[in-house]
Amino acid sequence: MIRLQSLLRTGAEAFAAALMAAMFATFILQVVVRYTARMEWVAVNMPWLQPMNYGWTLEFCLALWVWLIFWGNAFVVRQNDHVTFDILYLAVPPHVRKVFAIITGLAIAIALLASLSPTWDRFMILRLKKTATLGDLFGDWIRMRDVYVIYIVFLLAVAARYFWQVWSAFRYGVEEPILPGEERVKP
């Protein structure tokens, strides 16, 4: 089970890294096209490098950014990597922390799942809307729904993570928090 978790985590990180690499390469392409467009000899000798052919790069970078944010937060960012306001949580005894973890975990997971239906309804509208420029790159089949479908994946994955956290807290309790300057000692 640990090996499968590690493999899935590595795959998720690799996909996030590929998204970042594609976004960076597209950004570099934007810079090259923008600055070579001012050189007359480039326009004459390399007509394929005309800026009007690269309008899709901005929308492509934005789509990659949306995917990177929601993919990363769903599958790559760990629970203890988040910024938390835990003054009250740290001030109470462990059995109360367990109750806090169960209540907040259930509230977050249920809220995310409750937002799924209205979000899906909005996605049905987005299936009709074409992207402004990505059709130049991918063809006429790509729709705005395809760009934002990662949000549905995010809702489901984060809700599942919080349900798992609730189950873990219910079954095993909560871990003692690591305070600043402390290190967790592995048994």
Hey, what are 127's tokens?
A: 């299936």
Residue spans of the domains in the chain: they are: 2-172
For residues 129 and 118, what is the distance between their CA atoms, to the nearest angstrom? 18
CB 165 within 8 A of CB 79: yes
Which pLDDT score is estimated for 62?
A: 92
Query: What's residue 82's pLDDT?
Result: 79
Cα separation, 169 vs 171, whole angstroms: 6
- Predicted pLDDT of residue 69: 97
Q: How many angstroms separate the first and last alpha carbons of the chain?
A: 20
Q: What is the structure's pLDDT at 183?
A: 66
Euclidean distance between CA atoms 163 and 106, whole angstroms: 7
Give the pLDDT confidence score for residue 181 in this predicted structure: 67
> Is 30 within 8 Å of 58 (Cβ atoms)?
yes
What's the confidence (pLDDT) of residue 184? 59
Give the pLDDT score at 26: 94
Whole-number pLDDT of residue 180: 67
What is the full per-residue pLDDT of the chain (187 aa) written as tens digits?
A: 789 989 999 999 999 999 999 999 999 999 888 888 777 777 777 777 777 778 888 899 999 999 999 999 999 998 878 777 788 888 899 899 999 999 999 999 999 999 999 999 888 887 778 787 877 777 777 888 888 999 999 999 999 999 999 999 999 988 876 666 666 555 5
Burial of 93 (0-12, 13-18, 19+ CB in 10 A): exposed
Question: What pTM, to 2 d.p., does this model score?
Answer: 0.83
Helix H or strand E segment including 12: helix 2-36
Which one-letter DSSP state was computed for residue 177? Answer: P
Report pLDDT for 154.
97
Helix (H, G, I), strand (E, B) or coil at 97: helix
Burial (0-12, 13-18, 19+ Cβ within 10 Å), 86: exposed
Angle, in degrees to the nearest 10, between helices 2-36 and 56-71: 160
SS3 call for 143:
strand
